[in-house]
């Protein structure tokens, strides 16, 4: 088992401010990082995010804003940094592709691959999608439209440099399929995406990747070390962030990083639209550079608005800050991870948030916290009885709750580990909450009190508190503020009831 954990998000284009699609990946990565820190210790987890700042798209946005590209990216990057701060994203590092540490590593990586003979000069002629910064082989194009964004493609003919993807095609297929290693099934996730990539690789001949742009057409990029007339194609530049942020090549061209060592579990979270770049280009780049592969490349789905992908360029993007101001940070985090299984697409609407808020947060969690603390106040003046619930024998419902508390960690582990099923993990936490709420209704503590069943009442209240303690610990990666508030209200022995955590929203 790995004892270190390295998790990354895509680096975001800074042509406009972030929307909820971007925040989705960062929230998911944040939950995993927080979760692993609890298990492996803070110093054994590294969480990297950042921004992708070169390329045509950004140059265009800068000129529209009447700024130099440098001024422009320096400005927009702040909206990403601010948003991550507001969302309590706990990344350890933020890489920008315009930083010196990145530029140097990209140039070094290019030089290594070039000297190895895996990069050669040739003529590129064909279709190019500027918004996606992607060349499309004719075999994949119909009606001159980009297969991804369906916008018109440009036709281009120019001298460029190519990376020998084709040389590594058979290796990559064998690597993905390697049955001698059961962990390899996790290399591309979910399974449907793995099949998609394998299907593509087995049915198409990979064309070599054009990894340069002539400087006269695009000046905003990293110069190739072996041709001053060219800059690096944004994807070759961007993917390198996963190594440039955390290590260096030495004089013998060997890469060193504490986060790409053998004992590290390396996970890349990406959206499904950039799976091909991560599951085909990136593994081959690493292979050519003599660097180990990541353990998992997990592609999540899209947030849609009325069946259409939310995106900056479509102008239907929802602003995360407005939602957070309206509902609160934790509600926003909870909604995104609970409402849709990670990997599938989801339809975004405020009505769906309000529904989750009222049902799961106000009725279930908020209510349990409030009623429990009210009882501790009422029956024990806020001072918890000193009782170990695991030594008490309860009725069937009480024992059931005890068992759920004891098995919760294991259940969350099996939902998150490998599968990254955040929604299932939350469901397991909510099972404890629902059972405990039901237990209050069944037990009718007011009767226990009236009938002076002192011992039963103590056992009952302490079980509620224990369930809440467990719930708050388990919730910390998902809803850090809420977990903290619950823990604070529970105290160690002296409780401090606050106002309801999630006052119902009237519709």
| DSSP label at residue 319 | P
Please return the burial class of 115, using the count of CB atoms within 10 Å of its CB with bins 0-12, 13-18 and 19+. Answer: exposed
Measured from each CB, the residue nearest to ligand MSP is: 271
Rounded Cα distance between 164 and 117, Å, is 9
**Residue 299 C-beta: closest distance to ligand MSP, Å:** 8
**Residue 380 C-beta: closest distance to ligand MSP, Å:** 48
Residue 361: CB partners within 8 Å, gap ≥ 6? Answer: 331, 334, 501, 502
Judged by beta carbon, residue 307 or residue 386, the one nearer ligand MSP is: 307
**Residue 263 C-beta: closest distance to ligand MSP, Å:** 24
Question: How are strands ordered across the β-sheet holding 154-163?
Answer: 134-136, 119-129, 154-163, 209-210
Q: Are 55 and 238 in contact (CB under 8 A)?
A: no
**Residue 22 C-beta: closest distance to ligand MSP, Å:** 5
Q: Are 300 and 28 in contact (CB under 8 A)?
A: yes
**Residue 52 C-beta: closest distance to ligand MSP, Å:** 3
**Residue 324 C-beta: closest distance to ligand MSP, Å:** 17
Judged by beta carbon, residue 9 or residue 458, the one nearer ligand MSP is: 9
Strand ranges (E), 306-409? 308-309, 346-347
Strands 212-214 and 227-232: antiparallel
The number of residues making up the chain comes to 507
User: Of 49, 45, 46, nearest to 14 (Cα)?
Assistant: 49
Judged by beta carbon, residue 245 or residue 486, the one nearer ligand MSP is: 245
**Residue 300 C-beta: closest distance to ligand MSP, Å:** 7
Helix residue ranges per DSSP H, 204-319: 234-239, 241-244, 275-276, 282-289
**Residue 364 C-beta: closest distance to ligand MSP, Å:** 27
Site of tokens 């064909």: 126
Judged by beta carbon, residue 308 or residue 442, the one nearer ligand MSP is: 308
Q: Are 373 and 489 in contact (CB under 8 A)?
A: yes
Q: Residues interacting with ligand MSP, by CB under 6 A?
A: 10-13, 21-22, 24-25, 52, 238-239, 241, 270-271, 273-274, 302-303, 309-311
Judged by beta carbon, residue 13 or residue 163, the one nearer ligand MSP is: 13
Give one DSSP letter per residue of 42-61, joined into a string.
Answer: GGGEEEEEEEE--SHHHHHH
Judged by beta carbon, residue 8 or residue 489, the one nearer ligand MSP is: 8
Which sign, positive or negative, has the C-alpha torsion 427, 467, 333, 272? negative
**3-state class (DSSP) for residue 377:** helix
Angle at CA 334, nearest 5°, toward 331 and 338? 140
Strands 209-210 and 154-163: antiparallel
**Residue 298 C-beta: closest distance to ligand MSP, Å:** 11
**Residue 13 C-beta: closest distance to ligand MSP, Å:** 4
């Amino acid at each position: 088992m790995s004892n270190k954990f390295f998790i990354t998000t895509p680096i975001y284009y800074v042509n406009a401010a972030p929307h909820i699609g971007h925040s989705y990946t960062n929230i998911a990565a944040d939950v995993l990082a927080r979760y692993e820190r609890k298990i492996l210790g803070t110093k054994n987890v590294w969480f990297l995010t950042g921004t992708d700042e070169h390329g045509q798209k950004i140059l265009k946005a800068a000129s529209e804003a009447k700024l130099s590209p440098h001024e422009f990216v320096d400005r927009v990057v702040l909206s990403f940094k601010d948003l991550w701060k507001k969302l309590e994203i706990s990344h350890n590092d933020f890489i920008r592709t315009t930083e010196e540490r990145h530029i140097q590593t990209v140039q070094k990586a290019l030089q290594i691959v070039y000297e190895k003979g895996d990069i050669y000069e040739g003529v590129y002629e064909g279709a190019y999608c500027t918004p996606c910064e992607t060349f499309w082989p004719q075999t994949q194009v119909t009606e001159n439209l980009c297969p991804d964004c369906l916008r018109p493609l440009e036709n281009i003919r120019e001298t460029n440099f190519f990376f020998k993807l084709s040389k590594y095609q058979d290796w990559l297929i064998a690597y993905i399929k390697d049955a001698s290693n059961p962990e390899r099934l996790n290399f591309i996730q979910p399974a449907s995406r793995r099949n998609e990539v394998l299907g593509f690789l087995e049915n198409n001949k990979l064309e070599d990747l054009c990894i340069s742009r002539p400087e006269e057409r695009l000046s905003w990029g990293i110069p190739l070390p072996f041709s001053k007339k060219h800059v690096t194609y944004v994807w070759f530049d961007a993917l390198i962030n996963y190594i440039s942020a955390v290590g260096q090549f030495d004089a013998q061209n060997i890469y060193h990083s504490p986060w790409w060592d053998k004992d590290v579990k390396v996970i890349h979270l990406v959206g499904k639209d950039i799976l091909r770049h991560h599951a085909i280009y990136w593994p081959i780049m690493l292979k050519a550079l003599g660097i180990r592969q990541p353990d998992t490349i997990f592609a999540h789905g899209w947030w849609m608005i009325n069946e259409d992908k939310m995106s900056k360029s479509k102008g239907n993007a929802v602003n995360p800050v407005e939602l957070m101001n309206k509902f609160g940070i934790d509600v926003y985090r909870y909604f995104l991870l609970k409402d849709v299984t990670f990997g599938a697409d989801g339809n975004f609407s405020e009505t769906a948030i309000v529904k989750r808020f009222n049902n799961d947060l106000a009725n279930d969690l908020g209510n349990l916290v409030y009623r429990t603390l009210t009882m501790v106040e009422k029956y024990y003046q806020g001072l918890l009885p000193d009782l170990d619930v695991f030594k008490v024998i309860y009725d069937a419902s009480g024992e059931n709750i005890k068992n759920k508390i004891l098995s919760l960690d294991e259940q969350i582990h099996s939902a998150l580990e490998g599968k990254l099923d955040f929604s299932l993990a939350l469901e397991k936490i909510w099972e404890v909450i629902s059972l405990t709420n039901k237990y209050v209704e069944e037990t009718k503590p007011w009767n226990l009190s009236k009938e002076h069943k002192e011992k039963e009442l103590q056992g009952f209240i302490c079980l509620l508190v224990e369930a809440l303690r467990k719930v708050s610990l388990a919730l910390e990666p998902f809803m850090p503020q809420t977990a903290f508030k619950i823990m604070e209200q529970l105290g160690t022995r002296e409780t401090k009831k606050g106002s309801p955590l999630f006052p119902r929203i009237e519709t």
